[in-house]
Chains A and B, each alone.
Chain A
Amino acid sequence: MNLDSFIDWILLPLIKIGILFGLLSLVIAYLTLLERKIIAFMQVRLGPMRVGPHGLLQPIADGIKLMLKEDIVPSRADKIVFTLAPVITLIPAFIVFAVIPFGPRSIHIPGFTIPGLNVQVAERTTGFFITDLNIGLLYVLAVSSIGILGIILGGWASNSKYPLLGALRSAAQMVSYEVALGFSIMGVLMMAGTLSLVEIVNAQKNAGAWYVFLQPVGFILFFICGVAETNRAPFDLPEAESELVAGFHTEYSGFRFSLFFLAEYAAMIVVSSMAVTLFWGGWLRPFPNIAALGFLGLVPGFLWFALKVLVFLYFYLWFRASWPRYRYDQLMKIGWQVLMPIAIANVIVTAVLVLWLGGSR
């Protein structure tokens, strides 16, 4: 492996992974604060106020608290699986971010010579993403599904009734909504003709419109399924505290619990990022092809991306504050008997329209 490929495939990704990991931990930490604050304001409360100004240091205090808490492994639990389960949930939740394009391929690094060694480093351009797989979307779907395994293992290994019930519910729910989720993005794939997430955003630029305007039904389906996949309200049955205590992580305490927690919030960010990438133009500014609005392009792409993701994260919190939880039979019915037929119909209608409009152009 020569120097150039070393820089391209190991050094630069390593730097980006470091930055991403730091940013991600920060965003997740403050997302928990944001959640408490927003829900508090919606309920005319103040939320955390004690730690730091307006509770701004609350996430740090929470983190330290979780580190200092006793870590209980129940005596009846399967020790190895119990330990492994949160790790299995956490890893996929993080590595999904490897293919999400936060911005365009526009970071320009000028060429330079390493002093002393007299080695010439060529100039190169890199992007605001760790890697651009040609099967990026499949990778996201495949890797994010692995998280379910950790939840099932965690519930099973606890050898306690509530976690087991929670894990079963969780698995059945995620599996049910996975199907409709797969169908809901088919329309985007038909129009973009690629699985690479970077290329899907570029295709939206070429099409002159974000895909949400061409695929409104697909987007709504995607986001509903995404909320259900992440086990968030109003689909938070696996953790329904009024009937299942805390669901699959009832027996988890201390930092092990917070690994599940991190994975859940990372998954929320993934779903929001995917919604933005597939349907809301990724890093593109609004109206990407109207030159008169060129001043919007002064805002860097990754900021547009962050802004859009933030909107979807806000939706998540808004849902939680607004809607009561579904009953389990309603949940399964919505997944299989409402979303599935709509999603299949959406695929067929899109297929006909793509052919019809594509032919006349």
Chain B
Amino acid sequence: MGNSVLLAYIPIFIFMAIAFLFPIVTLFVAKLIRPNSGGEAKLSPYECGVDPDSDARQRYAIRYYVVAILFVIFDVETVFLFPWAIIYKQLAFFGLMEMLVFLGILIVGYVWIIKKGALDWA
């Protein structure tokens, strides 16, 4: 049955709908039975008892951006390797060589990143 590949996704959508309903229903039930007193001090952001004097959304370390960019590069690499790994037994020697070239280029880049100190956090 050819379309069973697509039909196999139906249960996932059903599951998604149920998983979506669960927090909504429970939050709604909780809303009905919990107290709700509020108050200015209670609703202010937690800063160990001190009144927050500024917005929390300030600039933060550039390291996080670097890590994010590196993640995109290397994760795309793994995504490319997935299909390769699946048919590796058919590709045999050709596949091995192909992968070595592909990984080789990325390893050069990886070594360069380490040498540049992009991964040193401190």
Q: Is B24 an interface residue (CB 8 A)?
A: yes
Q: Is A113 an interface residue (CB 8 A)?
A: no
How far, in Å, is B39 (CB) from chain A's closest CB?
10
Q: A74 with B43: in contact, given A9-B10, A168-B64 (CB under 8 Å)? A: yes
Q: How big is chain A's contact interface, by range?
A: 35 or more
Q: Is A290 an interface residue (CB 8 A)?
A: no
B30 touches A254 (CB 8 A): yes
Q: Is A220 an interface residue (CB 8 A)?
A: no
A66 to B30: give the CA distance in the assembly, Å.
9
Q: Is A69 an interface residue (CB 8 A)?
A: yes
- The residues of A that contact B26 with a CB separation of less than 8 Å are 67, 255
Of A168, A171, A259, A333, the contact of B23 (CB 8 Å cutoff): A259
Q: Which A residues form the contact surface with B (CB < 8 A)? A: 5, 8-10, 13-14, 16-17, 21, 66-77, 86-87, 90-91, 94-95, 97-99, 130-134, 138-139, 156, 158-165, 168, 171-172, 175-176, 178-179, 182-183, 186, 189-190, 193-195, 245, 250-251, 254-256, 259, 328-329, 332-333, 336-337, 340-341, 344, 347-348, 351-352, 354-355, 358-359
A76-B56, A183-B81 known; 5 new pairs, CB 8 Å cut-off, are: A171-B68, A179-B71, A179-B78, A193-B87, A348-B103
Q: A98 with B15: in contact, given A76-B45, A259-B23 (CB under 8 Å)? A: yes
A254 to B31: give the CA distance in the assembly, Å.
10
Q: How big is chain B's contact interface, by range?
A: 35 or more
Q: Name A's interface SS.
A: helix
What are 29 A-B pairs with beta-carbon distances under 8 A?
A9-B7, A10-B10, A13-B10, A13-B11, A13-B14, A14-B11, A21-B22, A67-B26, A70-B36, A71-B34, A76-B44, A91-B19, A98-B11, A99-B12, A131-B11, A134-B5, A161-B45, A162-B46, A163-B56, A175-B71, A186-B78, A195-B86, A250-B46, A254-B30, A254-B34, A255-B34, A329-B122, A354-B88, A355-B92
Of A193, A328, A354, the contact of B121 (CB 8 Å cutoff): A328
- The residues of B that contact A5 with a CB separation of less than 8 Å are 7
A74 touches B44 (CB 8 A): yes
Of A17, A138, A165, the contact of B11 (CB 8 Å cutoff): A17
Of B57, B60, B71, B89, the contact of A178 (CB 8 Å cutoff): B71
Q: A94 with B81: in contact, given A347-B103, A358-B89 (CB under 8 Å)? A: no
A194 to B85: give the CA distance in the assembly, Å.
9
A87 touches B43 (CB 8 A): no
Q: A352 with B96: in contact, given A75-B40, A254-B34 (CB under 8 Å)? A: yes
Leading 10 A-B pairs by shortest Cβ distance: A182-B78, A13-B11, A160-B45, A329-B121, A189-B85, A75-B43, A94-B19, A175-B71, A131-B11, A255-B30
B9 touches A133 (CB 8 A): yes
B11 touches A73 (CB 8 A): no
Of A344, A355, A358, the contact of B103 (CB 8 Å cutoff): A344
A351 touches B96 (CB 8 A): yes
A193 touches B43 (CB 8 A): no
How far, in Å, is A265 (CB) from chain B's closest CB?
14
- The residues of B that contact A195 with a CB separation of less than 8 Å are 82, 86
A163 to B108: give the CA distance in the assembly, Å.
37
